[in-house]
Structure 1
Amino acid sequence: MSEPAIKIMTRIETIPVTLITRPGHTVGLDADTAFIRLPANSGHGHGDGEVCIACAGRTDVRALLHNLLEEQKRGMRPAFRHVVVDASALDDPQQVVLALTGRLPAQALRDHSVARLFRLVETV
């Protein structure tokens, strides 16, 4: 009789994310920290807060975090252990908080990966 298979669970270390929401506020960066700046309206013909596919792609924090991971895997960027996201230019940085805490619906598989690998630890 064979012995039952033992499932070994390993704990995945998550990457802490600090979110800057106040204009002019800064945090210290070191060699282990990746930095993402989310821009405001690009000025290409619509008001802030209006739906725009081009602007949404540049401010989708989950897509940008996923891109960081992919760039690291491909050797296009140094390894990082922490991420700082500057969302101070956005009209509604609360949307970024919702995305980072899993309160926005996932739009793609990458969103689930980001939810497992990153955690919001501080909002300043």
Structure 2
Amino acid sequence: MSEVVIPVTLLTAPGQFVPLDPDTALIRLPANSGHGHADGEVCIACAAQTDVRALLHNLLEERRRGLRPPFTRVVVDASAVADPHQVVLALTGKLPAQALRDHTVARKFHLAGYSSAP
């Protein structure tokens, strides 16, 4: 029996809308939190909030532990992120895996589609 792979739709342009239903989980990646550095600078706190692989892994864990209802798809709103292409790279396996969770996410999720900013 093959394992179910969950489709991920990525939104990269501000103002985009995708209808959500009860079977859809939504992740919003925030912009720079404004806590003392310029946009685009490397910051551990900001990186943790925008690590899409870690956030997807957290969704799986929350579902497994009964803290989140089951979902069959995920929408990731990356419209506030300075470089949404990095999110695409993370979801397509083009960035090196940093932890076991990255391999789990690669097996459980696939990038079903994304919109690029006009």
Into which bin does the TM-score normalised by the smaller protein fall? over 0.9
- Describe how 1:28-47 pairs up with structure 2 within 5 A: 28-47=19-38
Partner amino acid, structure 1, of 2:94:
R
1:47 is displaced (CA, Å) by 1.1
1:17 aligns with 2:5: no
Structure whose alpha-carbon radius of gyration is higher: 1
Equivalent residue, structure 1, for 2:99: 108
The Cα offsets for residues 59-108 of structure 1, whole Å up to 9 and x where unpaired, read as 00000000000000011010000000000001100000000000000000
Gaps of 5+ in 2: none
Identity %: 72
Partners of 1:49 and 1:28 in 2: CA distance: 30
Partners of 1:15 and 1:94 in 2: CA distance: 20
Partners of 1:102 and 1:40 in 2: CA distance: 23
Gaps of 5+ in 1: 1-9
TM-score by length of 1: 0.91
1:56 aligns with 2:47: yes
Secondary structure at 2:22 match in 1: coil
Instruction: Tell me how many residue pairs correspond in the alignment.
Output: 115
1:48 is displaced (CA, Å) by 1.2
Compute the RMSD of aligned alpha carbons. 0.5
